[in-house]
Chain A
């Protein structure tokens, strides 16, 4: 059975991803720059993933397969992961704002594990929302 690690995910903005988003969000490049999770080395090791491997990120709100990216930060941040703000990260952001109207985009608790699945395309994400 795949080993899982619970992490708190903080979403962020990336200029290279934003450039693609402004130009054309249907490109492979936009998907590659968006559908990823930055993990600490120890967390990567724990789930048996290496830089560039696909991982499943899931919680009660949904699940999504993205690429694992090894963190470049000098200090360890085990248990904290980062995802570019995108339709992929939004699959696991809570829909319950507690009446405040502001979703928890920057404190998403989810489990991460190795995955054999594929990264879903933007068009398929939209199709999925129609169901």
Chain B
């Protein structure tokens, strides 16, 4: 059995038949995982400087040279790196006095910090499968983002002792979303539609309903019904997604009293729907090292704040290292175009928009497929994996170690 590093579920039941050219038949992969495995032979990156192909050693030397000369370097990415690479990355940031940030900075950061600091109750995905009777997918759409979430853990499977009767009787799925997503199609009766940015009002109405008062919403009966369902839960789990986070934005802390209230009326856990396979790993590793999960500067000891978020610090930095990430694609173009204005070094298995803007590109092995290591699943379970196929590519941990040695 192999591990799939296509998302933060880190599915551990992947069957792979190897052929001479590489991977042949596979079993149990979802669409996303299939795409991940098929990427082995597609658009692989070559070492380059200023668009011209060079040797790997030259690319690494050039990267080290740029970083040695930089006064305000930014090291970004990390969600698609092993724990081992993340540790070297943080050491490199320290040695350079650099700013280090990851994708959680503009997605699940707030919630992940709450989880890792023990400020929100959480549980393992296996507890969800075995115990959970009320599931709240809030601004999340696991059918699209984590295709096996509902089938392996949260909705469809039977538990070991409890939840034996099947999902129709044993589980109640609630979906709060602005659109009729594929997850809504599965759990239609539990769908609550909000307007863009309307999650804050939804929290107000739900808090009122949970207190036994009449909420100020159009469909009072439905909201009161939700309050009753949530109160009756034996073991509830909330799966917040980007829809909730981007809707609440600066008011994300409005979730705190709701989580507390739900734990007054019953038992509720929170598992953020982390995207990249090891974002949680980076957040935990950096937290242990600095007391912060992201947005850290090592320039003068350890500093932390929104000024060190990639969206803000890109404006001020004079060199960027991007590891296993494609910020040119995932950030607003108005922010991402700054990547073309500073020397950018990309360590990645594949060509992407960021590599096209980069001064230096360094190809790496695909972790989980061509390199082994370990990672933290979205619920914190540590998963170790071996490479599925052999390749001539260095792992990102090895590349980062060489750069660290050379600066």
The reply to whether B312 and A90 form a contact with Cβ atoms under 8 Å apart is: no
Which residues of B have CB within 8 Å of A118?
A: none
Highest count of chain A CB atoms <10 Å: which of B143, B179, B329, B351? B329
Choose among A15, A24, A91, A102 the residue that contacts B249 (Cβ–Cβ < 8 A). A102
Answer whether residue B42 sits at the interface, using C-beta atoms and an 8 A cutoff. Answer: yes
How many residues does chain B have at the interface if contact means C-beta atoms less than 8 Å apart?
59
From known contacts A10-B196, A101-B105, A105-B242, infer whether A87 and B329 are also in contact, taking CB-CB under 8 Å: yes
Answer whether residue B233 sits at the interface, using C-beta atoms and an 8 A cutoff. Answer: no
Choose among A101, A104, A107, A129 the residue that contacts B328 (Cβ–Cβ < 8 A). A129
The reply to whether A94 and B332 form a contact with Cβ atoms under 8 Å apart is: yes
The reply to whether B144 and A13 form a contact with Cβ atoms under 8 Å apart is: yes
Which residues of A have CB within 8 Å of B306?
A: 99-101
The reply to whether A125 and B332 form a contact with Cβ atoms under 8 Å apart is: no
B181 shortest CB reach to chain A, Å: 7
Interface residues on A, range: 35 or more
Please provide the chain B residues from 327 to 354 with a CB less than 8 Å away from any CB of chain A in the complex: 328-337, 339-340, 351-353
Beta-carbon nearest neighbor of B140 in chain A: A13
B18 shortest CB reach to chain A, Å: 19
The reply to whether A15 and B181 form a contact with Cβ atoms under 8 Å apart is: no
Answer whether residue A2 sits at the interface, using C-beta atoms and an 8 A cutoff. Answer: no
The reply to whether B334 and A25 form a contact with Cβ atoms under 8 Å apart is: no
From known contacts A87-B353, A130-B340, infer whether A19 and B31 are also in contact, taking CB-CB under 8 Å: yes
From known contacts A102-B249, A103-B106, infer whether A97 and B311 are also in contact, taking CB-CB under 8 Å: yes
A128 shortest CB reach to chain B, Å: 8
Which residues of B have CB within 8 Å of A21?
A: 35
A123 shortest CB reach to chain B, Å: 7
- In order of increasing CB-CB distance, the 3 nearest A-B pairs are A95-B334, A101-B309, A22-B35
